[in-house]
Structure 1
Amino acid sequence: MDQEDILRRITGMVDDEKRLRASLEAGEIDPATERARLAALERELDQCWDLLRQRRAKAEFGENPDTARARPVSEVEGYES
């Protein structure tokens, strides 16, 4: 997955988050469902942002960004930007 793919995926997840919040406000889903889906989105976003940072760091230091790999959620969860 290249940088543009990652950015598209992040944009898609942000759009999903907005739809979830709108569905909650419209009464289409319950708060527990929204929280569970948002938590899953946040974990996936953490991984995408981490992968993007890895790719950029490798490129900056002359390494091949294609060697960057998604790390486990447990490793990237809660990283500060």
Structure 2
Amino acid sequence: MVSDEKALRDLLAEEGDEGGDQRERLASLERELDQCWDLLRQRRALTEAGEDPGGARVRPSSTVEGYRS
């Protein structure tokens, strides 16, 4: 997924404003990746707390995208 994201970014850099479909695919891929990173962080936090990392669940992209840095 990360390599697909990089390839789409490179393609969009070459095409400029003409990559509408690629821009939509990139946005979708970014949301999916954010969910994966969130799941990984949940699993690590559960492990560090001495709990079962299998209890981590994929959260909706609306939740993950709403985080503040």
Range class of TM-score, shorter chain: 0.7 to 0.9
Structure 1 residue 18 displacement after superposition: 2.0
2:46 to 37, 58, 80: 58
What residue is the counterpart of 1:16 in the other structure? Answer: 4
Q: State the AA in 2 paired with 1:60.
A: E
* Identity value in percent: 67
Superposition TM-score, scaled by structure 1 size: 0.70
Count of residue correspondences: 67
Instruction: Give the gaps of 5 or more residues in structure 1.
Output: 1-12
- The alignment's C-alpha RMSD in Å is 1.9
Instruction: Give the gaps of 5 or more residues in structure 2.
Output: none
In structure 2, the residue corresponding to 1:58 is in which secondary structure? helix
1:39 to 21, 27, 36: 27
Cα separation, 2, equivalents of 1:21 and 1:72: 24
Q: State the AA in 1 paired with 2:20.
A: A
Structure 1 residue 14 displacement after superposition: 1.1
Q: State the AA in 1 paired with 2:28.
A: A
